[in-house]
C-alpha cells in the first residue's frame, strides 16, 4: 500500500444500488421472493377450493361457525393504514383473532365429543373464504387487498392442518399425541413451529417489499412471538381443546380474552402514535423560532431511520434513533444568536458540543427515554467514542446541512464526497456508505 493519499471515490449515481456479484436487480430479487410465496399459496388455495366444492362441506355448521369467527377477527383487526412493509409500525399481526380462529380450525379434531371429518383442504378453504370477507372493507376504503397477509394465512393454516389432521384421524404416531394426556403439549409444539414458519415468511415478504436487511426483520418477527404471537397460539390451542369438549359454545368464551387484548393493544398503538407526534411537534419548535430550516428535523429523522435499518438496527433502537434525530437541534433554542441557516456541521467542535449538551439537558426534561438524551448529547463527540445511533445522527445531520449549502445538480454527491473526506475523525465510513446506499435507493425511509 503506497503512502500517497487515496483518491476519493465518486458517490453512487442516484437510482442505482450496488448488488453482490451474480445477483440481479433488487426489484427482480424481491419479485422472485414474492412469487416463491404466492405460487404455493395460490396453488394450495385453488386445490382446497376445488376439492371442497367437489366433495362438499363436512359438518357445515362447524365450518360456518369457524368461518364467522375468522371473518369477525379479520374485520375487527383491520385498523389504521399499514406502514411500509405491510403493517402498522410495531404491529406484527393485524388480525390476531382471525389467525387464532384459523389455527384452531386446523387443530380441531372433535366437537362436543364427536370426531370431525374435515380435512386439510376444507380447513384452508374456510380460512380463505373468511379471509376474503375480511378484505372487503379494506378494498372499499381504497387501501387495496392485503395479499401478503392472505398468502401467509393460507400457508401457515395449511401447514398446521397438514401436520395435525392426518395424525389425528389415523391415531399415529400414537395415542399419546392423538388424544392422550400429552395432546395439549403436542398442539403447543405444533403451534410454536407454525409461528416460526410464519415469522420466516413475514420477514421474507417484508424484505422483498422494502429491500431492508433480512436479519433485522427476522429478529423483529421472532422478538414479537412471545407477545401477540404466544397469545394467538395459546388461544388457538384452547379453542380447539374446549370445542372438542364443550362444543361450539366454547368459541365466544375462549375468544373474548384475545379480543379484549387486541383492543388494548390498539389503544396502546394509538398512544405510541400520539407520543411520536408530540415529539415531532416539539422538534418543530426550532423551525418555528427560525433557528433551523423548514423540514430539517423531519428529513434527518427519516434518513437516520433508513440508515439505521440499513445497518441492521432492530425496531426499538430505530424508534430511539428517530426520536433523537427529531430533537437533535433542540439545543439551539438556548442560544442568544441563531446559527446561520441552522447548520451546525461547519461550527467548531467546542461549539457543536455545547449545543449538543444544551439539547440533551432539554431532552431530559421532556420525559422521553434516557437513551434519546444520550444520543443528542454525544452527537458532537468523535465518532469512535459514540454509540452507533449517535454516529448516524451526526452523519445524517451533516449531510443535510451540506446538501443545503450545495444547491443545484449534484449537490447530494458533493455533500457525500465531503463526508467521505471527513471519515478520519468526524464520520464513521460504514455509516457514510450506508447513507450513500439509502440515497441511491431514493432515500426510502420508514
Residues 343 and 299 in one domain: yes
- More reliable by pLDDT, 265 or 52: 52
Is the pLDDT at 227 greater than 60? The verdict is: yes
54: exposed, middle or buried (C-beta count within 10 Å: 0-12, 13-18, 19+)? exposed
Residue 19 domain flag: no
Contact at 8 Å (CB) between 204 and 33? yes
Residues 293 and 251 in one domain: no
φ and ψ of 95, to 5 deg: -135, 75
Is the pLDDT at 47 greater than 90? The verdict is: yes
Per residue in 377-417, pLDDT tens? 888 887 788 889 989 998 998 898 888 766 656 678 888 88
3-state secondary structure (DSSP) of residue 240: helix
Mean pLDDT on 101-122: 90
Residues 40 and 126 in one domain: yes
Residue 10 domain flag: no
Per residue in 120-178, pLDDT tens? 999 999 999 998 888 887 777 766 557 888 899 999 999 999 998 887 766 554 444 45
Residues 44 and 164 in one domain: yes
> Taking CA 191 as the corner, what is the angle to CA 186 and CA 192, rounded to the nearest 5 degrees?
100
Highest-confidence segment of 28-32, 158-162, 230-234: 158-162
3-state secondary structure (DSSP) of residue 300: helix
**Interatomic CA distance for residues 407 and 291, integer angstroms:** 20
Mean residue pLDDT across the chain: 80
Contact at 8 Å (CB) between 329 and 292? yes
Structural domain tally of the chain?
2
Per residue in 51-61, pLDDT tens? 999 998 999 99
User: pLDDT at position 170, please?
Assistant: 64
**Interatomic CA distance for residues 77 and 166, integer angstroms:** 31
Model confidence band, residue 50 (pLDDT cutoffs 50, 70, 90)? very high
Q: How far is CA 322 from the centre of its chain?
A: 15
Residues 57 and 176 in one domain: yes
Residues 222 and 323 in one domain: no
User: pLDDT at position 407, please?
Assistant: 60
Distance set, CA 201 to CA 101, 152, 195 (Å): 20, 7, 10
Is the pLDDT at 1 greater than 60? The verdict is: no
Residues 304 and 381 in one domain: yes
**Interatomic CA distance for residues 234 and 379, integer angstroms:** 45
In the block, cell 378484505 appears at 135
- More reliable by pLDDT, 320 or 351: 320
**Interatomic CA distance for residues 69 and 255, integer angstroms:** 9
Contact at 8 Å (CB) between 368 and 278? no
Contact at 8 Å (CB) between 293 and 348? no
- More reliable by pLDDT, 410 or 420: 420
In the block, cell 439509502 appears at 438
Residues 67 and 113 in one domain: yes
Q: Which residues contact 217 (CB under 8 A, 6 or more apart)?
A: 202, 203, 206, 207
Mean pLDDT on 242-261: 87
Instruction: Answer with the one of 253, 274, 295 that is the final residue of a domain.
Output: 274
Residues 270 and 288 in one domain: no
Cis peptide before 16 (omega within 30 of 0): no
Is the pLDDT at 80 greater than 50? The verdict is: no
Residues 319 and 249 in one domain: no
Of the candidates 381, 319, 386, 392, which has an alpha carbon nearest to the alpha carbon of residue 400? 392
Residues 172 and 54 in one domain: yes
236: exposed, middle or buried (C-beta count within 10 Å: 0-12, 13-18, 19+)? buried
User: pLDDT at position 28, please?
Assistant: 61
Lowest average pLDDT, out of 144-148, 191-195, 292-296, 390-394, goes to 144-148
Please give the DSSP secondary-structure letter assigned to residue 145: -
- More reliable by pLDDT, 169 or 224: 224
Is the pLDDT at 3 greater than 60? The verdict is: no
Is the pLDDT at 184 greater than 80? The verdict is: yes
* Domain span at 424: 284-440
Distance set, CA 317 to CA 189, 380, 410 (Å): 31, 20, 32
Residues 215 and 106 in one domain: yes
Residue 142 C-alpha cell reads as 381504497
Lowest average pLDDT, out of 29-43, 183-197, 218-232, 324-338, goes to 324-338
Residue 79 C-alpha cell reads as 385498523
**Interatomic CA distance for residues 414 and 420, integer angstroms:** 10
Residue 21 domain flag: no
User: pLDDT at position 194, please?
Assistant: 93
> Taking CA 418 as the corner, what is the angle to CA 376 and CA 421, rounded to the nearest 5 degrees?
95
Amino acid at each position: 500500500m503506497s503512502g500517497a493519499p487515496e483518491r476519493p471515490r465518486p458517490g453512487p449515481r442516484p437510482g442505482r444500488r450496488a448488488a453482490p456479484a451474480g445477483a440481479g436487480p433488487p426489484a427482480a430479487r424481491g419479485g422472485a421472493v414474492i412469487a416463491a410465496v404466492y405460487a404455493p399459496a395460490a396453488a394450495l388455495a385453488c386445490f382446497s377450493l376445488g376439492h371442497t366444492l367437489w366433495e362438499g362441506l363436512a359438518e357445515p355448521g362447524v365450518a360456518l361457525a369457524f368461518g364467522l369467527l375468522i371473518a369477525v377477527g379479520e374485520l375487527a383487526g383491520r385498523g389504521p393504514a399499514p406502514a411500509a412493509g405491510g403493517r402498522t409500525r410495531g404491529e406484527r399481526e393485524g388480525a390476531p383473532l382471525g389467525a387464532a380462529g384459523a389455527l384452531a380450525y386446523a387443530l380441531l379434531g372433535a366437537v362436543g365429543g364427536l370426531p370431525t371429518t374435515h380435512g386439510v383442504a376444507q380447513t384452508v378453504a374456510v380460512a380463505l373464504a373468511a379471509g376474503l370477507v375480511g378484505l372487503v372493507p379494506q378494498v372499499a376504503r381504497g387501501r387495496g387487498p392485503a395479499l401478503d397477509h392472505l398468502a401467509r394465512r393460507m400457508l401457515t393454516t395449511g401447514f398446521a392442518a397438514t401436520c395435525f389432521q392426518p395424525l389425528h384421524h389415523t391415531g399415529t404416531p400414537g395415542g399419546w399425541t392423538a388424544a392422550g394426556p400429552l395432546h395439549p403439549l403436542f398442539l403447543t409444539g405444533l403451534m410454536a413451529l407454525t409461528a416460526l414458519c410464519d415469522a420466516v415468511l413475514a420477514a421474507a415478504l417484508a424484505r422483498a417489499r422494502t429491500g431492508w436487511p433480512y436479519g433485522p426483520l427476522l429478529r423483529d418477527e421472532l422478538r414479537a412471538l412471545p407477545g401477540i404471537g404466544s397469545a394467538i397460539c395459546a388461544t388457538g390451542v384452547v379453542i380447539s381443546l374446549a370445542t372438542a369438549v364443550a362444543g361450539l359454545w366454547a368459541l365466544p368464551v375462549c375468544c373474548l380474552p384475545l379480543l379484549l387484548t387486541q383492543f388494548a393493544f390498539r389503544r396502546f398503538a394509538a398512544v405510541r402514535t400520539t407520543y411520536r407526534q408530540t415529539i415531532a411537534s416539539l422538534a418543530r419548535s426550532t423551525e418555528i423560532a427560525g433557528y433551523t430550516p423548514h423540514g430539517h428535523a423531519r428529513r434527518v429523522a427519516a434518513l437516520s431511520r433508513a440508515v439505521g435499518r440499513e445497518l441492521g438496527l432492530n425496531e426499538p433502537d430505530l424508534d430511539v434513533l428517530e426520536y433523537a434525530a427529531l430533537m437533535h437541534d433542540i439545543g439551539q433554542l438556548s442560544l442568544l444568536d441563531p446559527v446561520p441557516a441552522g447548520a451546525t456541521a461547519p461550527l467548531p467542535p467546542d461549539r457543536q458540543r455545547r449545543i449538543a449538551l444544551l439539547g440533551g439537558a432539554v431532552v431530559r426534561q421532556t420525559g422521553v427515554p434516557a437513551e434519546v438524551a444520550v444520543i443528542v448529547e454525544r452527537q458532537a463527540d468523535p465518532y469512535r467514542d459514540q454509540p452507533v445511533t449517535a454516529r448516524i445522527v451526526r452523519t445524517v445531520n451533516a449531510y443535510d446541512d451540506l446538501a443545503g449549502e450545495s444547491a443545484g445538480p449534484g449537490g447530494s454527491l458533493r455533500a457525500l464526497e465531503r463526508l467521505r473526506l471527513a471519515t478520519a475523525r468526524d464520520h464513521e465510513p460504514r455509516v457514510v456508505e450506508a447513507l450513500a446506499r439509502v440515497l441511491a435507493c431514493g432515500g426510502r425511509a420508514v
